[in-house]
Structure 1
Amino acid sequence: MSGRWGWLDGLRAVAVLLVLYAHLTRYVFTDLRAVTGEWLHAGTAGVMLFFLVSGYIIPASLERRGDLRAFWVSRALRLYPMYLVAIAAVVLLAGYRTGEPVTSAVAHATMLPFLLDVPLVTPVLWTLTYEMVFYLLVTALFTVRAHRASAAVAIGLAVLGVVTAPLSGPRAGLVWPAAVVLVIGLGLVVSGRAGPVKAGGLLIGGLVVTLIALGQDPAHRWDGLLILAVMFTGTAIYRADQGQVGWWQPALAGTVVAAGLLINWLAELVVFDALTPRYVTRCVLTLVTFGGAFAVGRLCRHRRTPQWLSWIGVVSYSVYLIHYVLIQIGHRVLLSGLPDPLVAGGYLTAVLGLAWLTHRYVEVPAQRIGRRKRASPPPERQDGPGESPSVKETAWHG
């Protein structure tokens, strides 16, 4: 992405580099991690920044045309090709095994496995589950014409996240019912007929609420709803940038969501008897890191993004998926005892090289198909108020 929206690529680059640092330093430069890890959750800061970026741009890509069918075709072509390549690589090369392969395949096909009590093929797929949940919620709100209430939704989710935390753990047996409801709901949504569209929106909205309430993995029982609140805060900022709402709305939403994150993170520390000044500071610094990065990126949006940073942002989806697949496949090399700079340099070269290849030969061809689909005349609009300006849709997240 370049020009007006290039700053979003810069933010994606910062986000994926934070995640790379968090995962790579488990194997090399561990002494550095021991120091920085006491003061910053780099991985958490990175994925939260991804979520803010998605929240900012994804609803705009839907409202630009008011065409739910085109939106979902575009999203599928944007996410699934590389998603499937990463899964295939782990299954074939890293020896992923499960006692219920069909159920696991169905869960991963929904892109909701993290909420369906199914072991992930690769751990980083958890963020794509929340990405999919966000798409479903945005769609549900769009079908009932409540999509402009982004700040109110963010505040509501944040308050609910604090009041209900910790949420319930995962429930077994949800995979097949969830898959059936999802297929039916999305089928109705993309039908283009007003009644079925609204019914489909309500159906997938109900599915999302059920999964969030009953399917939270223990790792995110404290902040699952707050992740979604972060994304809707990004949407509220976009609306203020476009003059659709006053700036007081995202300011209020951001304040409430930030407070909710801190409250729940600190409450989780209390549960684990780890409420120390250092860990409290780490929570604050993590929040400031991703929130501050987004604020700086937005303030610099009229400046040219450095080319190298923009490039990393463009291929960030491939980098995000590939970097952990390579860890799963080659973790023995990372632990081989070779000098840390040599291992890190070789690993990063492999990640960026493969990301360039997969972006060019997997992502770009699928995106071209998506653009051709979007270029065709849209069906009759389902909403009415989809008058947002054109946005180049390359956001993935995540």
Structure 2
Amino acid sequence: MRSFNRSYMPEIDHLRAYAALIILLYHGLQLIGSPIIYGRSFDSSVPWPQPNNPLMLLIVEGHSAVSLFIVLSGFILSVGVLDKTIDYGRFILARVLRIYPLMMLCLMLAVATTGSDLLAFLNSALPIDPRNQISSPFVAMFWAVKVEFQCYLLFPALLWLLSHHGPRALLAIIGLMLVLRVIAVFGADANPRDLSYWTLAGRIDQFVIGMLAASLYKRWGKEQISGWFFPVAFGVAITMLFVFNRFGGWPNQSPWRVVFPPIEGAVWASVILSYLSAGQVLMRIRVGAMLTWLGSISYSAYLLHFVVISAVINHKWWIELTGRGDWDAIITTLLVVFPVVTMLAVLTYRIIEKPFMAMRPRYAQPRMNVGARFNREKDTVKRKPAVSG
């Protein structure tokens, strides 16, 4: 996804494509698999699957791809502006033009199909409360977008801390948020899972880790990070999800959940850094171009996939081939949901997203040192015409 404010990195679009596909399969397995297996809607209180197959494990715990998205956001926003200053107003305008046009389309469709009132509309539109008061598949994924936007609001301040005080300042923020989550759980009776998963209090760690990964990348360069490290990093990610799954998976509400966000973020950051080198191999073949294309429409796919899955469930358009509900749900997701979501995403990307993306302003300028700023101001004074009395 190209931007005026940084150089294009096709490998980032690859990672966006992977994350979007994992989330699609995750929701497909859950939401389509439940009526096939149990004859009823998805209920997280039923025993959580504990597969040994690494591919199935990645799908069962596919919620972790949201963390990958958030780390990616912190990384890509930072990597092009670490040595620059940001105009806050222009930056926020660029973010609004990037995410809100499609969000507003989905929100209007949700209001039209549910008859929601103005208060519910504002609650869903404003990036304050991640929870939606509108019950519609059109807005089911808004929570993550709103949490990301909250990270955007803080990004210029976080970037200033990183630029002026170094990585230790951001590490201190991660430590502080960990302490605050512990206090919230034991002092305010907060739900450890919900606090860590659904809110900025749990997700800001991962965004900050993405920024730290960008700092390492700028320091080391792509050449210093071997692509051969990617299988190791990905293996660590699968191992992390395996351990997480064996401790109860997503439904688990134990206090240890408050510690998990930075661990998860650090693991995905290592995957990102190593893939930036490994992904170059795919750019030499058509697979790379296809992944780049899928990554460019990943935001549309992310917002729209839930409503397509809902249509499949409502009309029982699933495919039963294997006699196993989990695999049949995955097959249905790949053969029915994925093509429809892709076609919709192409349309919304070209008609809604792309025109507004072209309107995004430049918000990053080279940072001037004190001497350069003084010389520019002195030249300005010299050129200023004298005013006669």
- Quickly say closer, same or farther: Cα 1:106–1:134, change in 2 above 3 A: same
Q: How much does 1:338 deviate? A: 6.0
- Quickly say closer, same or farther: Cα 1:46–1:238, change in 2 above 3 A: same
**1:125 alignment partner, one of 142, 148, 171:** 142
- Equivalent residue of 1:146, what SS? helix
Distance (Å, rounded) in 1 between the aligned partners of 2:367 and 2:191: 35
Match of 1:331 in 2: 313
Distance (Å, rounded) in 2 between the aligned partners of 1:365 and 1:112: 26
- Quickly say closer, same or farther: Cα 1:43–1:347, change in 2 above 3 A: same
- Quickly say closer, same or farther: Cα 1:352–1:285, change in 2 above 3 A: farther
1:77-96 Cα deviation digits (max 9, x unpaired): 1111111122223333xx33
Match of 2:30 in 1: 26
Please tell me whether the aligned partners of residues 154 and 230 of structure 1 are also in contact (alpha carbons under 8 angstroms).
Answer: no
Match of 2:96 in 1: 76
Please tell me whether the aligned partners of residues 68 and 268 of structure 2 are also in contact (alpha carbons under 8 angstroms).
Answer: yes
Distance (Å, rounded) in 2 between the aligned partners of 1:120 and 1:342: 24
- 1:105 paired to 2:83: no
- Equivalent residue of 1:43, what SS? coil
1:196-233 Cα deviation digits (max 9, x unpaired): xxxxxxxxxxxxxxxxx99x887531354342111111
Distance (Å, rounded) in 2 between the aligned partners of 1:343 and 1:302: 29
Match of 1:299 in 2: 277
- Quickly say closer, same or farther: Cα 1:342–1:236, change in 2 above 3 A: closer
Please tell me whether the aligned partners of residues 217 and 273 of structure 2 are also in contact (alpha carbons under 8 angstroms).
Answer: no
Please tell me whether the aligned partners of residues 112 and 132 of structure 1 are also in contact (alpha carbons under 8 angstroms).
Answer: no
Match of 1:54 in 2: 73
* Segment drifting more, 160-169 vs 221-230: 160-169
Match of 2:217 in 1: 241
- 1:134 paired to 2:151: yes
Match of 2:338 in 1: 348
Please tell me whether the aligned partners of residues 9 and 314 of structure 1 are also in contact (alpha carbons under 8 angstroms).
Answer: yes
Distance (Å, rounded) in 2 between the aligned partners of 1:140 and 1:285: 23
Distance (Å, rounded) in 2 between the aligned partners of 1:136 and 1:274: 29
- 1:220 paired to 2:194: yes
Match of 2:296 in 1: 314
In the superposition, the TM-score normalised over structure 2's length comes to 0.64
Segments of structure 2 that go 5 or more residues without pairing to the other structure are: 38-47, 225-236, 322-327, 370-389
The CA RMSD measured in Å over matched residues stands at 4.5
1:78-117 Cα deviation digits (max 9, x unpaired): 111111122223333xx3354xx222222233223316x7
Given residue 290 of structure 2, which amino acid in structure 1 is its aligned partner?
W
Q: How much does 1:283 deviate? A: 10
Q: How much does 1:367 deviate? A: 1.0
Given residue 111 of structure 1, which amino acid in structure 2 is its aligned partner?
P
- Equivalent residue of 2:130, what SS? helix
Please tell me whether the aligned partners of residues 56 and 238 of structure 1 are also in contact (alpha carbons under 8 angstroms).
Answer: yes
- Quickly say closer, same or farther: Cα 1:285–1:112, change in 2 above 3 A: closer
Q: How much does 1:129 deviate? A: 1.9
1:166-213 Cα deviation digits (max 9, x unpaired): 5759xxxxxxxxxxxxxxxxxxxxxxxxxxxxxxxxxxxxxxxxxxx9
Figure out how many residues of one structure are paired with residues of the other and give that number. 308
Match of 1:363 in 2: 353
In the superposition, the TM-score normalised over structure 1's length comes to 0.63
Match of 2:380 in 1: none
Please tell me whether the aligned partners of residues 62 and 71 of structure 1 are also in contact (alpha carbons under 8 angstroms).
Answer: no
Q: How much does 1:46 deviate? A: 0.8
- Quickly say closer, same or farther: Cα 1:384–1:113, change in 2 above 3 A: farther
* Segment drifting more, 22-31 vs 233-242: 22-31
Matches within 5 A, 1:155-166: 155-165=171-181
Please tell me whether the aligned partners of residues 166 and 222 of structure 1 are also in contact (alpha carbons under 8 angstroms).
Answer: no
- Quickly say closer, same or farther: Cα 1:147–1:24, change in 2 above 3 A: same
Please tell me whether the aligned partners of residues 39 and 285 of structure 1 are also in contact (alpha carbons under 8 angstroms).
Answer: no
Distance (Å, rounded) in 2 between the aligned partners of 1:165 and 1:80: 30
Match of 2:114 in 1: 96
Match of 1:13 in 2: 17
Distance (Å, rounded) in 2 between the aligned partners of 1:288 and 1:67: 29
| Aligned-pair identity (%) | 20
Segments of structure 1 that go 5 or more residues without pairing to the other structure are: 170-212, 248-257, 386-398
Distance (Å, rounded) in 2 between the aligned partners of 1:120 and 1:131: 21
- Quickly say closer, same or farther: Cα 1:269–1:36, change in 2 above 3 A: closer
